[in-house]
Amino acid sequence: MATIDQRPLKAYVRFDGTGRIVPSSLILRRKMPKVGKWIEIPAYECCNPTTTTSTSSTSSTTTTTTTVIPECIGDYDIGQRRDGGTVAYILQSGDPGYDVSLTQGYIATVLDLADAEWGCINVLISGADGTALGTGNQNTIDIMAGCATAGIAARLCGDLVQGGFSDWYLPSVDELNKLYLNQVAIGGFVGTNYWSSTEDDADSAFNQDFTNGVLGDGDKIAVLSVRAIRSFTCSIVP
């Protein structure tokens, strides 16, 4: 059997206050994070450096495959072109999912996509009601699963491959509001009202007026502007 060259790496997992490993906390980096309780574990890079498998033991042994969080390369500044688009927002303390040891946020496409309907009027899409930061991706998945209509706003975003990335989605109302607040720095906004992925009811969904920030609900058959986003996460190197 052929052997595979394995290069030792430093990998760390974080523990919570009860001594349990925090799910999805596995990271690769040069030094142990200074914030929180971390422990170094053995890990090897092979074939696909973005994932690794670790085994932890509490009362029983569980093997979990976890996506490795990469180290941040350079700074992330709102309005900066990188990672397939333009940096639109960086999570702050108090935001859902905020972690002091990570840089997290959203990348927006450089330009608007085609104007489109929200789609499937008179149909209530199960699950597409997330409003908070971090819910737009699941909203988009639920819309695409529950509405087969071609060319709708969520499908334009979910099917998009741009800048080497294919994980774009239609933002939730709170994510869309971050685009509104930072629209000058982000640039490329030519429309007036932009769709969010947040459904209101079977006939309407939420959109935002980018001239005054007013959030409203409109008929799903209305043709409005669309801007896609994708999320990013990387670990801060001390």
The string of pLDDT tens digits covering residues 167-197 is 999 999 999 999 999 999 999 999 999 999 9
**pLDDT at residue 63 above 70?**
no
Query: Where, residue-wise, is CATH 3.10.100 in the chain?
Result: 81-235
Percent of all residues in the chain with a pLDDT value above 70, rounded to a whole number: 77
Q: State residue 30's pLDDT score.
A: 60
Q: Could you tell me the CA-to-CA distances from 43 to 28, 40, 202, 224, 236 in Å, in that order?
A: 9, 9, 49, 48, 20
Confidence bin at 39 (pLDDT 50/70/90): confident
The answer to whether the predicted template modeling score (pTM) of the entire model surpasses 0.85 is no
H or E stretch at 132: none
Confidence bin at 40 (pLDDT 50/70/90): confident
Q: State residue 49's pLDDT score.
A: 37
Choice between 9 and 71, residue whose per-residue pLDDT is larger:
71
Spatial separation of the C-alpha atoms in residues 41 and 204, rounded to whole Å: 50
CATH fold of 81-235: Mannose-Binding Protein A; Chain A (3.10.100)
Kindly provide the residue ranges of all beta strands, DSSP E only, lying in 152-203, ordered along the sequence: 193-199
Spatial separation of the C-alpha atoms in residues 192 and 222, rounded to whole Å: 13
**pLDDT at residue 52 above 50?**
no
H or E stretch at 183: helix 183-186
Average pLDDT, the chain: 85
For 129-144, what is each residue's pLDDT tens digit? 999 999 999 999 999 9
Spatial separation of the C-alpha atoms in residues 32 and 34, rounded to whole Å: 6
Choice between 71 and 59, residue whose per-residue pLDDT is larger:
71
How far is C-alpha 61 from the geometric centre of its chain's CA atoms? 31
Confidence bin at 85 (pLDDT 50/70/90): very high
Contacts of 122 (CB under 8 A, 6+ apart): 202, 203
